[in-house]
Amino acid sequence: MPENTEKQTFTDQEALDFHSAPTPGKISMAPTKPMATQRDLSLAYSPGVAVPVRAIAEDPDKAYDYTSKGNLVAVISNGTAILGLGDLGAMASKPVMEGKAVLFKRFADVDSFDVEVKTTDPDEFITVVKNIGDTWGGINLEDIKSPECFEIETQLQDLLDIPVFHDDQHGTAIISTAGLINACHVAGKRLEDIKVVLAGAGAAGLSSIALMKAAGVKHENTVIVDRDGVVYRGRDNVDQWKAAHATDTPHRTLAEAMVGADVVIGLAAKGAITREMVASMAPRPIIFAMANPDPEITPEDVRSVRDDAIIATGRSDYPNQVNNVLGFPYIFRGALDVRARQVNHEMKVACAQALAALAREDVPDEVAVAYRGRKLKFGPDYIIPTPFDPRLIWYIPPFVAQAAMDTGVARRPIEDMDAYRATLRQRLDPSAALMQKISSAVRGAPNKRVVFAEGEETSVIRAAWAFKQQELGTPILVGREELVRQNATEAGLVFEDLGIEIINARVSPNNVAYTEALYQRLWRRGYLRRDVQRMINQDRNYFGAAMLAHGDADAMVTGVTRNFNMALKEVSRVLDVKSTLIGLSVVMARGRTLFVADTSIHELPDAQELADIAIQAAASVRKLGRTPRVAFLSYSSFGNPPGDRGEKVREAIRILDQRGVDFEYEGEMPPELALTPDARTSHPFMRLSREANVLVMPAIHSAVISTQMIQALGGATLVGPLLIGLEKSVQIVPLGSSVSQILNAATFAAYEEGIAEEG
């Protein structure tokens, strides 16, 4: 294994666990058609499948219409240049290729599968891919060493009638070119006038300088430098790929070439660029030090000699990260949507220009939080969009698609670009972005102090560590400091200088005030002062809730070591209920996000409680940025068959009718009517405009059983139940929750408290 860097925030074991559990690997296949009846089987396979088979035999392009080819990309490698690890073989590259497939799906809704080819012979590699290439709508080559990668890509693009794209070359080229366009804009320089030095003449470097030339940089104003020095015309032992970029220059070293240069593009190694070299550059120098994990020169070293420099790196802990994920998903999204035959220079330039243009636009708040809550504004520290910018999916692909259309490589031109953009907005699964949106909002809001009540538990400590590392707020661990630190050390975590607070409830100086306040709440409920003193001293839920009540913290998460009802009872003795108390579970499955209530509080709610649950759930969903459409679920459909529980639901509907609430609601109905509009033909009176997204359950047992069954069966993610309605934000996780569950709950607690303050 490679040596861990200072910035690594996980252990090697955590990385292995991530890749192995609960299912090995990072990708799987999900069918897009039902397979529930004999008719489904007949249509999907024999005899129905024969119909598209014959259609494709007559016209191979029909594969785009009748198979998944049009949204399918192969990520193919032989493992000869894995990340920064080198030639470790085809099978060792599989985790990286799977990771690339995940990024394709997450950022651009492109289905992707990895193919590892066990050969280092370029001709053999080309033969293999050529013979299987028609399976996909595009091919993303990955982690293939230079110079073989140039030959492989060029030949495959000639042999195949689909886009073939080597991301190690072109991804970096596209993002760095976008950054260069904007850096020149900020520095007041023109592409055609700048002098550019490339330090590192590998695949990414050569592709970057080529694309920059296509964008406007003049060939005669460039100098490339490899490990043997400047590549000048007439130099011996230079391959054809470097020779294409050789210039007539008297310079023979990188230091000589950088004197008076406007731009240096670093794709070499740590230390390749010195402060003296930077000092010799022209005014307002542009320095892209993109080696990973350590740049050719750190921004700090650059600043020590040049305060007028514009700097980009390949790292996320500095501004202006050159991250390939900004490019390849959207290049392929646009190329696939017009069924392009290739990704040409014009499409790459269009992508770079679109990225540059997006960075110059006003930055919404949810994007700004990715930069530690700073309000982003186009300038020296913001010349490249952030990877989680939600606008990327609908902003970039149309430019790529238009370039494909303009250059004649599009099989299916797009007639209405506005409609295409609207379609792109809807492509990404909103559930995948839910926690990202909440996390972004938390980072962008004023810092929240979140109590992790069971602070001695290793899972809680790790969640608090992640909460701090992700800059979501200030975690406070309640527990004995010696034990907390011991457990943290055993987990491989070091708390020094991280800003995680540890408070021992037994010896806290606030115990007297907390005890007195709680005693005054409970003295008429059978509690003596010594009882309350013991509760504050020895029970972390009472202590943590008291911190919230006294303003010493903002939010709290608990529940890992005791059941929900006990934790809620303890917290409720300290904090008031400000509105209807409910449990709201979020179910994310198959492109849908559903909110289910009540999943933790009301065992058998009456009609009034059902109405109140609906109002509280709808308000919470609206705070999350969704338009609530509430369905009251039941075993019956509008009175058929009749029953007491159904009547309570009908009464809840009448109560809401009288209140005149501002959200859609309907009931009682089974899940099929709520979630499948096509099933409503027998009920034309239904008031929901489309499928419901808020499901109010008739009783807690149906709510809990249904949500947990969905999660247990797989294919769905369950968040919650989220506790809504207390005067301060407290989240109670299930017993034995994982680190990610605790982290999500803490994040939502901070988010909910921020919403409450805004309200």
Q: Torsions phi, psi of 346, nearest 5?
A: -65, -35
- Stated as kind and residue range, the H or E segment containing 313 is strand 310-313
Residue 498 has pLDDT above 80, yes or no: no
| Nearest alpha-carbon partner for 343 in 133, 170, 181, 128 | 170
For 579-598, what is the mean pLDDT? Answer: 82
Give 145's DSSP letter: -
How many whole angstroms separate alpha carbon 695 and alpha carbon 671? 9
| Nearest alpha-carbon partner for 700 in 577, 582, 589 | 582
Band (714; pLDDT cuts 50, 70, 90): low
For 305-309, what is the mean pLDDT? Answer: 95
CB 584 within 8 A of CB 613: no
For 187-207, what is the mean pLDDT? Answer: 94
Residue appearing with tokens 């240096």: 264
Residue 577 has pLDDT above 80, yes or no: yes
Residue 715 has pLDDT above 70, yes or no: no
Residue 265: Cβ within 10 Å count = 31
Residues with Cβ within 8 Å of residue 522, at least 6 apart in sequence: 531, 532, 573
Give 226's DSSP letter: E
For 419-448, what is the mean pLDDT? Answer: 74
Distance linking the first and last C-alpha atoms of the chain:
50
Residue 227 has pLDDT above 60, yes or no: yes
- Stated as kind and residue range, the H or E segment containing 333 is helix 328-337
**Between residues 377 and 617, the one the model is more confident about:** 617
pLDDT-above-70 percentage for the chain: 93
Q: Are strands 263-266 and 555-558 parallel, antiparallel or unpaired?
A: unpaired
pLDDT of residue 2: 39
Burial 96-118 (b: 16+ CB within 10 A, else e): bbbbbbebbbbbbbbbbbbbbbe
How many whole angstroms separate alpha carbon 324 and alpha carbon 56? 35
How many whole angstroms separate alpha carbon 658 and alpha carbon 615? 13
∠ CA 686-581-455, rounded to 5°:
130
Band (638; pLDDT cuts 50, 70, 90): confident
**Between residues 593 and 181, the one the model is more confident about:** 181
For 209-235, what is the mean pLDDT? Answer: 94
Q: Locate all alpha helices (DSSP H) within 70-226, ordered by sequence.
A: 94-108, 122-132, 148-159, 167-187, 203-215
> What confidence tens digit (pLDDT) does each residue in 653-676 have?
899 999 888 898 887 888 888 887
pLDDT of residue 691: 85
CB 284 within 8 A of CB 189: yes
Angle between helices 458-469 and 481-490 (to 10 degrees): 80
Residue 230 has pLDDT above 70, yes or no: yes
CB 401 within 8 A of CB 394: no
Q: Where are the beta strands (DSSP E) in 550-644?
A: 555-558, 577-589, 592-597, 629-633
Q: Are strands 555-558 and 592-597 parallel, antiparallel or unpaired?
A: unpaired
Catalytic residue, from 7, 45, 118, 375: name it. 45
Catalytic residue, from 26, 94, 100, 242: name it. 100
Band (754; pLDDT cuts 50, 70, 90): low
Which of 59-73, 513-527, 719-733 is predicted most confidently?
A: 59-73
Band (143; pLDDT cuts 50, 70, 90): very high
Q: What's the whole-number average pLDDT of the chain?
A: 86
pLDDT of residue 258: 96
pLDDT of residue 722: 85
| Nearest alpha-carbon partner for 633 in 610, 603, 656 | 610
> What confidence tens digit (pLDDT) does each residue in 329-370 have?
999 999 999 999 999 999 999 999 999 999 988 665 445 544
∠ CA 34-702-737, rounded to 5°:
90
Residue 757 has pLDDT above 60, yes or no: no
Give 351's DSSP letter: H
How many whole angstroms separate alpha carbon 178 and alpha carbon 348? 10
Report helix, strand or coil for 399. helix
For 543-558, what is the mean pLDDT? Answer: 90
Long-range contact list for 575-580, CB < 8 A, 24+ apart? 575/545, 575/548, 575/549, 575/726, 575/727, 575/728, 575/730, 576/726, 576/727, 577/725, 577/726, 577/727, 578/725, 578/726, 578/727, 579/616, 579/725, 580/609, 580/612, 580/613, 580/615, 580/616, 580/725
How many whole angstroms separate alpha carbon 212 and alpha carbon 352? 10
Sheet holding 449-452, edge to edge: 501-503, 474-478, 449-452, 555-558, 729-732
| Nearest alpha-carbon partner for 664 in 618, 699, 696, 710 | 618
How many whole angstroms separate alpha carbon 247 and alpha carbon 249? 6
Find residue 140's DSSP bridge partners. 75, 165
pLDDT of residue 353: 95
Please tell me the total number of residues recorded for the chain in this structure. 759
Q: Has 100 been annotated as catalytic?
A: yes
How many whole angstroms separate alpha carbon 141 and alpha carbon 75? 6
**Cis peptide, bond prior to residue 122, ω within 30 of zero:** no
Residue appearing with tokens 């370029």: 122
Report helix, strand or coil for 401. helix
What would the DSSP string read from start to end of 234-294? T-SS--HHHHTT-B--S--SHHHHHTT-SEEEE-S-TTSS-HHHHHTSPSS-EEEE--SSS
Range name among 251-260, 261-270, 461-470, 633-642 with the lowest pLDDT average: 633-642
Band (699; pLDDT cuts 50, 70, 90): confident
pLDDT of residue 755: 53
